[in-house]
Each structure stands twice: as C-alpha cells, then as structure tokens.
Structure 1
Amino acid sequence: MSTREDILARVRANLGVNADDVARLRAARAALAAGSSGPRPHLQGDLAARFRAKSEAMASTVDAVATLSELPGAVARYLVSVGLPLRATCWPVLAGLDWVAAGVMIEARAANGDDLTGITGCFCAIAETGTLMLASGPDTAATTSLLPETHIAVVPVSRIVPAMEEGFALLRAEQGDDLPRAVNFVSGPSRTGDIEQTIVLGAHGPYRVHLILVEDRPSPDSGP
C-alpha cells in the first residue's frame, strides 16, 4: 500500500468508512458518469403542443408569439386581462425589448416581496410534464420567478426538450462543470392540498403562471 493509500485508509477508519462504503461510492460515480437511464415513455407528436397541453392542465395559461420582439405587447395584453398594473421586474436579458411602446414599465433586477409580476426566461422546458427548468445565476435571479404573485415565463420553442433527462444533459453540455448554484423546476402555479384536501393556489409562491411561447430561436444561453 502506498503512503497516500495508507493515509486515506486511516482517515476512512477514523471516520468509520469501510471498504464496502468506498466501493458503493465508486459504483455510484461510475453510474453517473455512464449517463445510462431506465425505461422511459416514448413521446409522440409535437413537443411544443404537448408542453402547452401539460402546462394548461396544471393551471398555467399559455400564449404564443412568432418573434421575441412581440413579447412586450403579449405581456401588456395579459396584464390588462387579469387587471394587473403594467409594471414588472425582469431578467436583464429581456430588458432591451421595446417595453415603452407596449406601455409596460420594466425594471431589470431581481424581484423582491413588493413586486407583483416577474418576467423570466427559462433554461429549457420539459414537454413530458409541462415543466420549466430555470438555472439560477447573476442575471437569472430565482426570486423573479418565486416572489411575485404572477410569474410570466418566456419559453423559446427551440428550448423545449422531451424529458428531464434531456434537460440535465443540455445543462451539462452547455455549462460543463460550471453548474448553477440552483436549478428550479416550475410546474404551474404554487399549490397545496393540505387543508381538507382542497387545492389552494399560491401557497408557497406565484398563484399565476403565464407562459409565452416564442417561435424564433434565441441565443443559446440560460435565457430567455
């Protein structure tokens, strides 16, 4: 046994780690590195259509625009339809759009408890379950999707993937070892059924989630 192995063996012994524990850890690391997956459902048809149907089934509302330049107008129409002020906080990547022409007052910053509406992009979207995958970062604050009562998310159709496995594979492919501190999955408005098994929206976060699908292809970063 080498000096290094001897030292590590003593450390393991003092920590109560035996050879079986080490073998299981190595096996787990090898399985993760292999990237194998178990049986999965086969998704048929258009991913965007499935994502929309699954999202609406979980009480999200969904709109669609052809290009990102149409986003401010779509946001303005939605805010008016639900009786909200034409004001929101957004991820910085969206701040350069023509919000003034749409009559929407935008602040490119992380949301706080006083903000009624937060607008985000998404890292990708999961067609199988109608779920948003959001990766946190300096310009993709998690609070913007969690604190306001209304969350509006921009979903490029090109970033809709079949399932969560493809979402994590895309994250590893694009960010490598520089993974985000947090990855949040959003499947419709926050809800609970703890009280008399009655579903209540907005229990732990937004009680409105509005998704705007964008047909054109964005830059391949984490948003929008």
Structure 2
Amino acid sequence: MSATIKDSSTRSQTSRADIFANIRRGLKSDSSDTQRQQTVANRLSAKADNLIPARSQLPPAEQVELFKTMATEAAAELIELESLAEVPQACADWLTQHHVDQLNCASDTELSTLDWQPLDEQQIGRNERVAQVGDIASLTCSFTGIAETGTLMLHSSAQSPTTLNFLPDNHLVVLHRSAIVGCYEEAWKKLRQTFGETLPRTVNMITGPSRSADIEQTLQMGAHGPKTLIILFIKD
C-alpha cells in the first residue's frame, strides 16, 4: 500500500510540474524574468487605488455624516462630545447606566493624561493593562474612521494591545472627527504615511459590535468579540 501511495504522489508532483511548465511557456514573452519581476515590484510599490465606491468620494463634512450613518446602521452606539476632556464623564455616565464598575483602558498619553475624577466619584475602577477574560469594558483610541462602511481602524501598540479590542463585552472607542476618511484606500495610505514601511503588528477593522447568525440564522451579538461598540465621537 505504501508503494501505491508513493507512486500516486510522484505522479501528482509530475503533473503539477507539467502544468506549471505549460503556463510558463504560454506566458513567454520578449521580456526577461528580471524585467517581469521588476514590473510586478513597481506595481506593488505604487500601491495604486482600486475601484472606489462613489459614496465614499464625498467632501469631508459629508464623509463625517456618512460615517455616522453607516456606524449607527451597523449597531454601534454613537456619543458625540465637544472635546476630548469630556471623555471621562461620558465613560462614567455610560458605565454607571449599565452597572459596570471597572474600565480597562489603553495607556495612550491621550487617555492617561485626562482627568478621571468622574470615575472615582462613581466608584468605578480604572486599570491600564492587557485585557483578560472576564473584563466587562475597555477604552481605546482609534486610528481612523472609514466613512464608506462606518468602520473603525485600530492598530496594536505597547500602549494599546489588541486584546482590549476583543476580550471585554463592551468596547468604548475614541474617534476624532478630523480622523475620518472616505474609503479604505485612504485609511491605508494614512497608516503608511504615519508608520512608513514598519507597520504595526496588528491592524483591526471594526464595524459595529461582534455578531453571527451562523447557528439556525439566529443573530447572536458578541459572537467573536464585544457585544456593544460605543464610539465617543470628538467634534474637534
């Protein structure tokens, strides 16, 4: 039996080699392999835009409104704030309303330098650490918002580990109005401009809370991540 399996494997490898050889012959041109490889390299390095939907090719103000509409349709909760300084009070109000007494925060300077007295007044604990199983709520900053689909782009860092985005049941995310772009291509361009060729290890695209209808077509929230997504929208 082992000899039969070996013969079958050998024939399969030979057939595969024949197929690839035929493809190479069919693609044969006057250009050398080096030239073709350079053509591919140039195309990749150019990072040209793909086909962009018309709905994302809007003036900035309309992009903001589109983002808000699409995010809300995706079941995200939107809380509009005038400034970043209002974030602690907004968090305290939301957590108190939903009977949550702990908030696990990213340690970004943007967040850690805020006045968190509103949480103390409501006796809500605040931690800055990696998220753990059993955490109820987390707070992070987003890198950008994508109007096309109401999607948040977040990236990992030493100050904001990816676990904060997925383990807690409730995810609160700070998004600045000025960070919104029209389409995915613009979001990736912005990321490359910020980090160059050394991109963050993890980039997450989040559109609304986690959900699934895989089982008997019944919608279940929080299937693979937070049950609730709260966007703290800063109107800067």
Specify the TM-score bucket, using the shorter chain as the normaliser: 0.7 to 0.9
Letter in 1 for 2:106: W
Superposed CA offset, 1:142-174 (max 9, x none):
111110010000001111111110010001111
Residue 39 to residue 98, structure 1, CA distance change in 2 (3 Å): same
Query: Is the CA contact 1:132–1:185 (under 8 Å) kept in the aligned structure 2?
Result: yes
Q: Structure 2 CA distance, aligned partners of 1:184 and 1:148?
A: 15
Query: Is the CA contact 1:90–1:108 (under 8 Å) kept in the aligned structure 2?
Result: yes
Query: Is the CA contact 1:88–1:117 (under 8 Å) kept in the aligned structure 2?
Result: yes
Residue 155 of structure 1 aligns with which residue?
Answer: 175
In the TM superposition, residue 95 of structure 1 has moved relative to its aligned partner by 1.9
Q: Structure 2 CA distance, aligned partners of 1:197 and 1:27?
A: 46
Structure 2 SS opposite 1:92: coil
1:1-40 equivalent positions in 2, closer than 5 A: 26-40=38-52
Residue 203 to residue 22, structure 1, CA distance change in 2 (3 Å): farther
Q: Comparing both structures, which one devotes a greater share of its residues to helix?
A: 2
Q: Structure 2 CA distance, aligned partners of 1:25 and 1:202?
A: 45
Give the TM-score taking structure 1 as reference length: 0.82
Query: Is the CA contact 1:95–1:106 (under 8 Å) kept in the aligned structure 2?
Result: no
Query: Is the CA contact 1:52–1:62 (under 8 Å) kept in the aligned structure 2?
Result: yes
In the TM superposition, residue 26 of structure 1 has moved relative to its aligned partner by 4.1
In the TM superposition, residue 24 of structure 1 has moved relative to its aligned partner by 6.2
Q: Do structure 1's residue 207 and structure 2's residue 223 form an aligned pair?
A: no
Superposed CA offset, 1:47-94 (max 9, x none):
222111111111110001111110011111111222322x21111121
Residue 25 to residue 180, structure 1, CA distance change in 2 (3 Å): farther
Q: Do structure 1's residue 188 and structure 2's residue 205 form an aligned pair?
A: no
* Number of residues of Structure 1 aligned to a counterpart in Structure 2: 200
Residue 23 to residue 136, structure 1, CA distance change in 2 (3 Å): farther
Q: Do structure 1's residue 89 and structure 2's residue 104 form an aligned pair?
A: yes
Q: Structure 1 CA distance, aligned partners of 2:39 and 2:221?
A: 42
Which stretches in structure 2 are left out of the alignment for 5+ residues?
1-16, 28-32
Q: Structure 2 CA distance, aligned partners of 1:25 and 1:201?
A: 46
Give the root-mean-square deviation of aligned CA atoms: 2.1
Residue 153 of structure 2 aligns with which residue?
Answer: 133
Residue 78 of structure 1 aligns with which residue?
Answer: 94
Residue 219 of structure 1 aligns with which residue?
Answer: none
Structure 2 SS opposite 1:158: helix
